[in-house]
Amino acid sequence: MRSGDGFTIADDEGSQLVKAGKTSKLRQEARRLLLQALYQRILSNDPVSAIESQFMADNDLKSFDTVYFHDVFIGISQNAKAIDEAFEPLLDRRLQDVDPIELSVLRLACYELKFRLDVPYKVVINEAIDLAKSFGGTDGHKYVNGVVDKLAARLRGEEVRAQRS
């Protein structure tokens, strides 16, 4: 995969030219679906593989970044304890008392901050806020913003300091 002049050249099923903006839309949609999959996992405790298969079958595979969805969903599942332990000290309540939507957003944001260094911390924060606004409670986005902002400072301190100076 190569990038240049605002375009990304993807090497899947023959080279195709994809605008960078389209790539970010595909990633945004993957995050929206990840939130739903994580929420479903909390409520149903169904196996990760079953949830992933359902999401792949029920959604247009061209409408979201399927590789990102897979990598992040599996990554969150495999690192669940470390992810929860990373942000739990920043909560003002017990982990089990956090709304399932907000908890799903926090897990997604924490995973991206901790394991997806290719995603700028500001993108992680903005996407988390947008998801919480779209799917969470009335002021859930404010809570998510506060936690993710502190988490970014802890996990990506150098990047945060460089951006703020």
| Residues in contact with 22: Cβ distance below 8 Å, sequence separation at least 6, in sequence order | none
| Residues in contact with 84: Cβ distance below 8 Å, sequence separation at least 6, in sequence order | 95, 107
Quick one: pLDDT at residue 32? Answer: 98
The CATH number of domain 2-164, selected from 1.10.357.10, 2.130.10.30, 1.10.940.10, 1.10.486.10: 1.10.940.10
- pLDDT single digits (tens) 75-92: 999 999 999 999 999 999
Quick one: pLDDT at residue 19? Answer: 54
Report, as an integer, the average pLDDT of 122-150: 97
Three-state SS at 7: strand
Quick one: pLDDT at residue 163? Answer: 87
| Residues in contact with 90: Cβ distance below 8 Å, sequence separation at least 6, in sequence order | 147, 150, 151, 154
pLDDT category, 11, cuts 50, 70, 90?
Answer: very low
Any idea what DSSP says for residue 62? T
Closest CA to 25 of 130, 101, 111: 130
Quick one: pLDDT at residue 3? Answer: 40
